[in-house]
């Protein structure tokens, strides 16, 4: 994986992926990949991180807490790497490792290794890195995502509001993705707080959709995709109480000309109202008193 030839590294990565399921004790492998990646040549780092993602997805639950914390600690150093792929992969790995540590260690580790503000001069890089890592915790480890959901929602709301800033659209888009992932984590784990979380996330996403965007539209696209994700697998039943928040915002988005997010908004409404599986829901919604004539049209 550290060979100078990209072809050799690709073959090595493929071979490792085949062998990983056979490993009974992944600690040595994870520690070695972690330590090598910190000192590898730039061309090899991406392949090493790809290998680490594969190992953690398949064997993360078998790794010791010390191994996972070592990985978490060192992945944070990549937050300002020159390569966007390296930054993104390292954040994903950090989130995967966090999602596999014992639940009672999760909140302290989150505060230690993913603080909302880090004392550096590269705040933009750190905020993007942190949001990608949080998405990874929620998306790959539902139990862990649900455990920290309410604690991270305030910072996700702050991230979503960055859409109002000239250079804040990327952060807002990541905040939308993470918010949707945390809502889905809550639903899959269950509990009495699911509806409250869905309401908070619905308000967050609707706020992004309502904003008159002057940028690329990537934040609005991710907001719509998050609603679509939350609606799938019977999640739309949880969102019925939030139709009055979400549907007018999606309809407003549909009327705009930006194709970056217009199609995503259309798919979100399609899943939200379960138009294919339950056409009566659309009729019922249109007949309800909460629908304005403009939204109905």
- pLDDT of the residue at 150: 92
**Helix axes 65-75 and 84-100, enclosed angle (nearest 10):** 160
Name the nearest CA neighbour of 17 among 55, 71, 61: 55
- When computed from its CA atoms, the radius of gyration of the chain, rounded to whole angstroms, is 21
At residue 148, the pLDDT reads 94
Q: 121 pLDDT exceeds 70?
A: no
Q: What share of the chain has pLDDT > 90, as a percent?
A: 47
> What CA–CA distance (Å, rounded) separates 243 from 249?
10
Identify the helix (H) or strand (E) that includes residue 204: helix 194-210
Contacts for 272 with CB less than 8 Å, ≥ 6 apart = 227, 228, 231, 236, 239, 243, 246, 247, 250
Q: Give the phi and the psi of residue 64 in degrees, each rounded to 5.
A: -75, 160
Report residue 225's pLDDT band, with 50, 70 and 90 as the boundaries. very high
Per-residue pLDDT band at 72 (split at 50, 70, 90):
very high
SS (H, E, C) 113-152: HCCCCCCCCCHHHHHHHHHHHHHHHHHHCHHHHHHHHHHH
Mean pLDDT of 154-176: 91
pLDDT band with cut points at 50, 70 and 90 for residue 289: low
pTM score, whole prediction: 0.87
- The HSE-up count of residue 237 (CA atoms within 13 Å, CB side) is 6
**Using alpha carbons only, what angle is made at residue 40 by residues 34 and 46, rounded to the nearest 5 degrees?**
75
Indicate the range of 15-24, 63-72, 133-142, 213-222 predicted with least confidence: 15-24
Retrieve residue 281's tokens.
Answer: 């829901």
Q: What does the pLDDT average to over 114-131?
A: 82
Average pLDDT, the chain: 86
C-alpha dist (Å) from residue 180 to 61, 75, 223: 24, 24, 8
């Amino acid at each position: 994986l550290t060979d100078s030839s990209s072809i050799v590294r690709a073959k090595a990565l493929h071979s490792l992926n085949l062998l990983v399921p056979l490993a009974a004790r992944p600690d040595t492998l994870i520690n070695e990949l972690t330590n090598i990646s910190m000192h590898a040549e730039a061309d090899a780092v991406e392949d090493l991180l790809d290998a680490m993602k594969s190992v953690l997805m398949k064997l993360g639950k078998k790794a010791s807490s010390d191994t996972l914390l070592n990985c978490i600690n060192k992945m944070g150093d990549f937050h300002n790497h020159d390569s966007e792929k390296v930054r993104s992969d390292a954040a994903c790995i950090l989130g995967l490792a966090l999602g596999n540590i014992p639940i009672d260690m999760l909140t302290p580790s989150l505060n230690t290794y993913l603080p909302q503000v880090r004392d550096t001069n590269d705040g933009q890089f750190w905020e993007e890195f942190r949001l990608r890592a949080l998405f990874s915790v929620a998306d790959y480890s539902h139990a862990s995502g649900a455990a920290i959901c309410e604690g991270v929602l305030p910072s996700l709301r702050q991230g979503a509001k960055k859409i109002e800033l000239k250079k804040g659209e990327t952060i807002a888009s990541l905040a939308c993705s993470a918010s949707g992932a945390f809502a889905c984590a809550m639903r899959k784990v269950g509990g009495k707080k699911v509806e409250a979380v869905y309401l908070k996330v619905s308000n967050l996403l609707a706020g992004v959709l309502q904003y008159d965007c002057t940028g690329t539209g990537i934040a609005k696209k991710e907001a719509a995709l998050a609603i679509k994700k939350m609606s799938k697998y019977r999640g739309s039943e949880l969102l019925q109480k939030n139709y009055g928040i979400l549907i007018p915002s999606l309809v407003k988005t549909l009327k705009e000309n930006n194709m970056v997010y217009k199609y995503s908004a259309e798919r979100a409404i399609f899943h939200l109202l379960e138009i294919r599986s339950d056409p009566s829901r659309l009729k019922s919604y249109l007949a309800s008193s909460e629908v304005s004539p403009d939204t109905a049209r």
